[in-house]
Structure 1
């Protein structure tokens, strides 16, 4: 199987790239930097080009034909229009990486299935992904474009999956290590699903080359469900520390920093539990195995292994200090 990943070296896609290579699949990466990836003596072939330069990509693709193309870095309808032009007739399957934040918000009926309506009034990111999905499904119906849609939820490996002062920041982790108070949204009891990228990869690989996946959407998540209080407590415990939690209403947080409107009100402040029956039906071997208490240790070891990863943001610290004084 000949597979092209546009991107392929990010937080989620690195785990998938490694698993695909280990499975003996002929993996190609298209990216601007020319970054490659290898595992156990196997390496991806690299096409160095910017996906945002259509003429450059058209030239670089030359006469290639693919069994699967996966775009890890498509975010809106314009990206999809470009990809349809580039890959119609060049691939037997095109996989769009959407987002589980596209599901109905607020108050989705739980558990969430792929039939849950889409709609997110709080987050442009999600609305853009929804429009991209809709364009792809029109192309599938009208022009037989061979699309499969995948909706990851909160997936981590080289990011810290907490709500304030995490992701690519080390701010909140540093506060925990110093014994300082941290902020958790609302009362911390809302339910959430965190998925390690290695587990996502095991589900995702089962979609590649599957004709029955064309015209379909799948989410791929862990079945472990935790409260946000528990997530922060497990994170602190992995550091040998205790989380000194201050609860602040999500709307109050967003009033003080509107950048959190999407990621909190449009995502992490909402109870989120998934039914993974659909991905398990097409990939019966899929089972998420990485418990958060184990996965976060791997993630923090990655951050601890390189001081360049330990970004402490003064603005985030100032926001946290402001919120805990309310």
Structure 2
């Protein structure tokens, strides 16, 4: 792989994994961040400082430069990207917008979800703004020949990220024999993807002309119920018979208001994906990290990083109330 790639942002979990994978495949990678990245930056990556939402900075960035692919990891609203159409149209062969599979309507009218499934999110702010940004950029593709590719991750994690809302608090409660609240009846289906698997599926899309004008759901890995996700984490933490207590999303939202929006408009719904387009564009991709392995890596990371093992006492008290008063 001999491509020049510019990451706008990309110092977070999946961006860092993608940068490592791109460098491993021989790409020349530059990342632009406003501040010092919190995660280690892979050797060989060029780092620049600047605000990619600032028109003057973007103009100076593109002057005299051209990339095979520009990836925007930090576009959340149309205003974040409106200046990019003019700035990058002639500076790159491909502009990749990182969106989210949360843009799809809930409940999904028909499963499995494909790239053409309806997008609709009138309430959940993050997803609603991503829908609007996708639509803005798609119009630029149709009207101005902007070389757009939309990539939609779903629920991605690595060893530093516990993929349940209750985080390490749930692990400590399970180890102490205390109940952990799971929304609904715990049987809705969900998909998790390790960041390294995301990166191996994603990087071959960069510079891939077959992906221009396309949206691609980069989703794979294990399909699990929410009970299975909790049970797998419990097993990795050495808990054989954790106490999972089921409560409605509405009841949980009363005690934990910050969870209300994401539960009602995201986590409570079964999400299954058709990955035909991804497999057509990246035929050699297959996930390597099962959630069983991923969960063991998570527990190992937290065991060796005591500062990360925070317990939210307010959340724990809310769980106690939900368990005592159904």
TM-score for the superposition, normalised by structure 1: 0.93
- Note the C-alpha offset of 1:224: 2.5
Match of 2:113 in 1: 112
Match of 1:123 in 2: 124
- Note the C-alpha offset of 1:139: 0.4
Match of 1:287 in 2: 286
Match of 1:270 in 2: 269
Q: Say which SS state the counterpart of residue 212 (structure 1) adopts.
A: helix
Q: Are 2:60 and 1:63 aligned?
A: no
Match of 2:94 in 1: 93
Give the whole-Å Cα distance in 2 for the aligned partners of 1:76 and 1:319: 33
Q: Say which SS state the counterpart of residue 108 (structure 1) adopts.
A: coil
Match of 1:144 in 2: 145
Match of 1:13 in 2: 15
Match of 1:320 in 2: 319
CA contact (8 A) 2:62 2:91 kept: no
Q: Say which SS state the counterpart of residue 264 (structure 1) adopts.
A: helix
Give the whole-Å Cα distance in 2 for the aligned partners of 1:74 and 1:271: 27
- Note the C-alpha offset of 1:319: 2.3
- Note the C-alpha offset of 1:86: 3.2
- Note the C-alpha offset of 1:286: 0.9
Structure 1, unpaired ranges of 5+:
none
Give the whole-Å Cα distance in 1 for the aligned partners of 2:6 and 2:156: 22
CA contact (8 A) 2:62 2:88 kept: no
Q: Say which SS state the counterpart of residue 155 (structure 1) adopts.
A: strand
Deviating above 6 A after TM superposition, structure 1's stretches of 4 or more consecutive aligned residues are none
Match of 1:249 in 2: 248
Give the whole-Å Cα distance in 2 for the aligned partners of 1:114 and 1:269: 21
Q: Are 2:170 and 1:172 aligned?
A: yes
Match of 2:213 in 1: 215
Q: Say which SS state the counterpart of residue 82 (structure 2) adopts.
A: helix
Match of 1:154 in 2: 155
Q: Say which SS state the counterpart of residue 141 (structure 2) adopts.
A: helix
Structure 2, unpaired ranges of 5+:
none
- Note the C-alpha offset of 1:37: 4.8
Q: Say which SS state the counterpart of residue 162 (structure 2) adopts.
A: coil
Q: Say which SS state the counterpart of residue 104 (structure 1) adopts.
A: coil
- Note the C-alpha offset of 1:113: 0.8
- Note the C-alpha offset of 1:272: 0.8
Q: Say which SS state the counterpart of residue 23 (structure 2) adopts.
A: helix
Q: Say which SS state the counterpart of residue 43 (structure 1) adopts.
A: coil
Which of 23, 26, 29 is the aligned partner of 1:24?
26
Q: Are 2:79 and 1:78 aligned?
A: yes
- Note the C-alpha offset of 1:61: 4.4
- The one-character-per-residue Cα deviations of 1:31-78 (angstroms, maximum 9, x if unpaired) are 012438555xx4200011122433234334442211111111211111
- The one-character-per-residue Cα deviations of 1:229-251 (angstroms, maximum 9, x if unpaired) are 11100110001113211101012
Give the whole-Å Cα distance in 1 for the aligned partners of 2:280 and 2:50: 36
- The one-character-per-residue Cα deviations of 1:142-190 (angstroms, maximum 9, x if unpaired) are 111111001111110121111x312xxx222222232221110011011
CA contact (8 A) 1:94 1:148 kept: yes
CA contact (8 A) 1:37 1:44 kept: no
Match of 2:236 in 1: 238
